[in-house]
Amino acid sequence: MTETVTTPAVRAPAAPALSGPGLFTVLLAAALPLVDFFIVNVALPTIGADLAAGEAVLELVVAGYGVAYAVLLVLGGRLGDLFGRRRLFLGGMAAFGLTSLACGLAPGAWSLVAARIAQGASAAAMLPQVLATIQAATSGTRRARAMSLYGATAGLSMVAGQILGGVLVAADLAGSGWRTIFLVNVPVVLLGLVLAVRHVPETRSQHPEPVDGPGTILLAVSLLTLLAPLTEGRAAGWPLWTWLALAAFPVAAAAFYAVERRADRAGRTPLVPPSLFALASLRRGLVLMVPFSMGFSGFMFVIALALQKGAGLGPVPAGLALAPMAVVFLFVSLAGPRLIARYGTRVVTAGSLVQGVGVLLIVLAAWRDWPHLGFGSLLPGAAVAGAGQALQLPNVFRIVMSEVPPARAGVGSGVMVTTQQSALALGVATLGTLFLSLVPHHGMRDALVIALLVQLAGIVLTGLLSLRLPRTVG
């Protein structure tokens, strides 16, 4: 009788799992860039007075960060796929801490602008690794929960950044004034680095592709020719270069699409694969994200200016006036996974209706109570709007990434965050420019009301677009 020897089957190595502390660490990193995008809104008057900076230079403090961040996000996602997401995460976080220190110690306005641009580039290396790690190191209900928490973190960070900015500027710790809004990042980054070394797993694409040089350059040119003139044009007086840049944008965008499509058809992996947009959830979710993010950032910018320059509030009352929005956003967003599981993507549609009611309540408060606008009069509208935003943003993040395969997690997250960040910058540029242009002719109250009604139109558009989302989320 011959004895049969069986050889144990060779199992593929298990995918790395993202633990609870690891998820906390990447969400902490996700909060930092968004907090820093909004934290300067209430600090700009103080920065201008301290550094003798004009309006155009102050706009660059905001725009330089936002444009560098948006331009390099997709490249950051690709580099994470190629070299390892944990490695890029650690490097990007360390650079974010160093550039935050440079911002806080900047001796003049132009050195602050340079440090902010470098800070935005550092954020672009760090942030795409957050979503890519969640996508590659979680699955099933754990991924759904992690994505909902990511969306909640993103929305909360945008509101909390403005509140934190007001508190830190007013606190004037050790006479540091506005510098604390940047220096506060340093201990947070040190904590994040310690936690990341211990708890964030290494993941990368199984079939990494080299960096798409032509695509990277053309995407950067496309975003720069759109965002730079829109964010700087009004403050600079719309010089010739702004019009030339806007005229070049459609040409650069068409060239980018042609190059990416050619690479995709040739079997290579371009920077932004057009085939990725065959995923209906990603394509339709990104389209919806544009008006939502533009309205969100435009509102935050306009309300900060109106409360400080029009209603005469200090940095702390101006920031705390939005506290109800942050608190309600946090609690409602935690219910997102259960609501999506029960009602599908119609939760997003309901969110747009609720947000619209909240913005209308803010419009009525501004019309009725101006210039005595503050925490009490904004409370109902801010709370209702926060609930509506919480029903939309975390769920849209989850919808966009729901069908992206783990091998393309870095590319998918880079495309999504680039869309969001570009829309945030466009919201400040468009709604902010409209508001500031109306103030001299119509006064602060009417300019605020008109800007909010324009945002309301964007909310209606978001609601209509949500009807095209897939009914269920994988």
pLDDT tens digits, 408-454: 777 777 788 888 888 888 888 888 888 888 888 888 899 999 999 99
Give the tokens for residue 369: 């109570």
User: Which residues 6+ apart lie within 8 Å of 452 measured at CB?
Assistant: 299, 302, 359, 362, 363, 366
Amino acid 99: pLDDT: 96
Crossing angle of helices 109-137 and 44-51, in 10° steps, is 150
Amino acid 120: pLDDT: 92
pLDDT grade for 208, boundaries at 50, 70 and 90: low
Min mean pLDDT across 8-22, 38-52, 337-351 is at 8-22
In this structure, the dihedral spanned by the alpha carbons of residues 269, 275, 279 and 282, taken in order and rounded to 10 degrees, is 60
Q: What is the mean pLDDT of residues 9-35?
A: 78
Query: pLDDT tens digits, residue range 90-112?
Result: 999 999 999 999 999 999 999 99
CA separation, residue 105 to residues 53, 63, 176 (Å): 16, 19, 10
DSSP 343: H
Min mean pLDDT across 21-25, 39-43, 239-243, 285-289 is at 39-43
Indicate the average pLDDT of the chain. Answer: 85
Q: What is the mean pLDDT of residues 324-339?
A: 84
Amino acid 4: pLDDT: 47
Nearest-Å Rg of the Cα atoms of the chain is: 22
Question: Is 474 in a helix, a strand, or coil?
Answer: coil
pLDDT grade for 2, boundaries at 50, 70 and 90: very low
Q: What is the mean pLDDT of residues 119-130?
A: 91
DSSP assignment string, 244-268? HHHHHHHHHHHHHHHHHHHHHHTT-
pTM of the model: 0.82
473 pLDDT above the threshold of 80: no
Q: What is the mean pLDDT of residues 186-214?
A: 85
Amino acid 458: pLDDT: 93
Amino acid 348: pLDDT: 92
Among 196, 138, 168, 147, residue whose Cα is nearest residue 35: 168
Higher pLDDT, 390 or 3: 390
Amino acid 104: pLDDT: 93
Q: What is the mean pLDDT of residues 319-346?
A: 84
